């Protein structure tokens, strides 16, 4: 089984973020970066499927040259090789454009299974995997909690709302978006880090994949929300006030 895992490099979760001079993105010159957490779970699921059924795991990443660090981490954990779509201009592309680049790179590999994280920690669109499925003409399922390979088909468990789950049988090839927490993440071993140095990283550019897709969505402004304080007073009997307070906490503050 050939499995491609789309991974993304994002700012570390404890980063202090500031808007850059253009006002359209964050200042990233002093940030540290790491693998997108949902993508790390997708990688772990791919490695476990390989250990059970054999095959090959390929890490696929679009990003600037610094994304090579994240790619090498994936190789150190057990991915067999990697494809790096190197570009310094991905922030100017929408989810459709990035998905187009990833899909074009993945098509040549003809994978049996393609995994992505459910969403990215930076933008959080949750669209890349499903858009890739549409572009590649492959069946897909989202919010995956478990995967069983049955040869020509796979059985997946999807997380729904309110504690409900859905079990689906799908033909291969297919694309799945993996939910965080599906399994326990592994650490790269010293031997894995050494082996990663000799594993293949194929570097391509958007031009090699047909050029930069035109963006259909333009990001106009990134800003820090203003903090405001507001006091509301409610008069009435205790029952009315309690009902009013519960409604505010549910639908405005959203803490219950």
Dihedral Cα 87, 93, 97, 99, nearest 10 deg: 70
In the predicted model, residues of the chain with pLDDT beneath 70 are: none
Q: What is the per-residue pLDDT for 17?
A: 83
In the three-class reduction of DSSP (H, G, I as helix; E, B as strand; rest coil), residue 21 is classed as coil
- For residue 65, the surrounding DSSP H or E stretch is none
For 180, residues 6+ apart whose C-beta sits below 8 A from its C-beta are: 37, 38, 41, 117, 118
Identify whether the C-beta of residue 93 lies closer than 8 Å to the C-beta of residue 213: yes
Peptide bond into 101 cis (omega under 30): no
Give pLDDT tens digits for 212-249.
Answer: 777 778 888 888 888 777 788 888 899 999 999 998 88
Average pLDDT, the chain: 91
Topology adopted by domain 2-209: Rossmann fold (3.40.50)
């Amino acid at each position: 089984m050939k499995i491609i895992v789309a991974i993304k490099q994002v700012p570390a979760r404890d980063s202090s973020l500031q808007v850059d001079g253009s006002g359209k993105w964050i200042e990233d010159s002093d940030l540290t970066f790491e693998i997108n957490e949902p993508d790390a779970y997708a990688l772990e699921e791919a490695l476990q499927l390989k250990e059970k059924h054999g095959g090959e795991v390929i890490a696929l990443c679009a990003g600037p040259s610094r994304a090579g660090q994240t790619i090498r981490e994936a190789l150190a954990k057990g991915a067999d090789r990697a494809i790096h779509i190197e570009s310094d201009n991905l922030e100017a592309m929408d989810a459709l454009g990035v998905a187009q680049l990833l899909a074009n790179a993945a098509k040549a590999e003809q994978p049996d299974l393609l995994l992505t994280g459910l969403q990215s920690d930076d933008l959080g669109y949750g669209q890349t995997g499903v858009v890739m499925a549409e572009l590649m003409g492959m069946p897909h399922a989202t919010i995956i909690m478990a995967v069983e390979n049955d040869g020509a088909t796979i059985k997946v468990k999807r997380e729904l709302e309110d504690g409900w789950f859905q079990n689906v049988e799908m033909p291969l090839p297919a694309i799945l978006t993996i939910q965080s927490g599906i399994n326990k993440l592994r650490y790269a071993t010293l031997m894995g880090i050494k082996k990663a140095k000799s594993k293949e990283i194929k570097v391509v550019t958007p031009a090699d994949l047909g050029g930069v897709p035109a963006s259909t969505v333009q990001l106009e402004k990134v800003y820090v929300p203003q903090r405001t304080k507001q006091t509301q007073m409610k008069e009435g009997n205790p029952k009315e006030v309690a009902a009013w307070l519960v409604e505010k906490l549910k639908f405005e503050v959203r803490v219950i």
